[in-house]
Amino acid sequence: MPACTVVIAFYNKPDYLALVLAGFQRQTRRDFEILIADDGSREAVVRRVHALMADSGLNVRHLWQEDRGFRKNRILNEAIRQAASDYLIFVDGDCVPHRAFVEAHLYHRAPDRVLTGRRVNLSARLTARLTPEQVRAGILERPFGRVFRDALWGGTRRWEQGVYLPSGALRRWVNRKPRGLIGCNMSMWRRDLEAVNGFDERYQAPGFGEDSDIDHRLRLAGKTVLGLSNAAVQYHLHHRELPRAEANRDLFESVKAAGVVRTPYGLVREAPAD
């Protein structure tokens, strides 16, 4: 059994996935599996994904569902069901991991604890020029290298989040303030997800809601959230910002008002979400 399952939320961006898999090829811990949770990519894209998987040398599987609009939470729940490990790390298909990313999540895991890191936002120019070979060579991880220079002159934001701190004391100081979960960089035990019945599948538009919902319900279930800034480091590839869905906001407000811990629209489908 792998030590953890990395779930990559993915949709129609194989060039980005190639960069993300390159990041996982150089991890300091290799005892993990990857599930690509595909929310309905086109047939040609799926063929490219399978080619990337075959060439990666990684323990990776592809899960796919029909494209019926934004149903990310539905495919994430399926990944939870399919995972071979009891510990799950969730990332997005546009976030390249630092080489110590998996190690950081595994090192800090504990009962009733949820972990969340942060990410650097790469510029459009740096994203367009980045290659899998460069990722495997560690070009993003040099503290005063290309990412730092692009932060000064090219548009990369939150460069400081890309500085990996090996010191435990420095990490604790950086993460002394409470953090909210972000879906592209979080991990938890399967049993904790089962306690809240996984992700709420009613969030069917991108933007606000799906991350806040799982964060809120896990805290209500008694789980603590620990930040992993400058430990579980990611590099977010540039893309057009998606509009926030007001329907998601209204749904989340209703969940908070009801004090819901276990959604009926999740892992065990007690009510239909479609």
Domain boundaries in the chain?
Answer: 4-258
For residues 222-245, average pLDDT: 89
User: How confident is the model at residue 215, as a pLDDT?
Assistant: 96
User: How confident is the model at residue 272, as a pLDDT?
Assistant: 63
pLDDT band at 269 (very low <50, low <70, confident <90, very high): confident
Q: CA-to-CA distance for 186 and 211, rounded, in angstroms?
A: 10
Task: Find out whether 81 and 267 touch, Cβ atoms under 8 Å.
Answer: yes
**Mean of per-residue pLDDT scores for the chain:** 93
Task: Find out whether 93 and 23 touch, Cβ atoms under 8 Å.
Answer: no
For residues 1-11, average pLDDT: 97
- Tens of pLDDT, residues 76-93: 999 999 999 999 999 999
User: How confident is the model at residue 77, as a pLDDT?
Assistant: 97
User: How confident is the model at residue 244, as a pLDDT?
Assistant: 67
pLDDT band at 154 (very low <50, low <70, confident <90, very high): confident
Q: Which of 17-21, 141-145, 180-184, 251-255 has the lowest mean pLDDT?
A: 141-145
**Residue 212: is its pLDDT beyond 80?**
yes
For residues 221-235, average pLDDT: 96
The first and second tokens of residue 198, run together, are 């996984």
Task: Find out whether 16 and 97 touch, Cβ atoms under 8 Å.
Answer: no
**Residue 159: is its pLDDT beyond 60?**
yes
Q: CA-to-CA distance for 249 and 215, rounded, in angstroms?
A: 14
For residues 159-183, average pLDDT: 89
The first and second tokens of residue 1, run together, are 């059994």
More confident residue, 130 or 145: 130
**Residue 273: is its pLDDT beyond 70?**
no
**Residue 241: is its pLDDT beyond 80?**
no
> 90 by DSSP, 3-state: which?
strand
What is the distance, to the nearest Å, from the Cα of residue 74 to the centroid of all Cα atoms in its chain? 15
Q: CA-to-CA distance for 218 and 216, rounded, in angstroms?
A: 6
For residues 149-168, average pLDDT: 90
- Tens of pLDDT, residues 30-51: 999 999 999 999 999 999 999 9
DSSP label of 84? S
User: How confident is the model at residue 239, as a pLDDT?
Assistant: 86
CATH number of 4-258: 3.90.550.10
User: How confident is the model at residue 246, as a pLDDT?
Assistant: 75
User: How confident is the model at residue 274, as a pLDDT?
Assistant: 54
User: How confident is the model at residue 270, as a pLDDT?
Assistant: 79
For residues 235-247, average pLDDT: 81
pLDDT band at 199 (very low <50, low <70, confident <90, very high): very high
pTM: 0.95
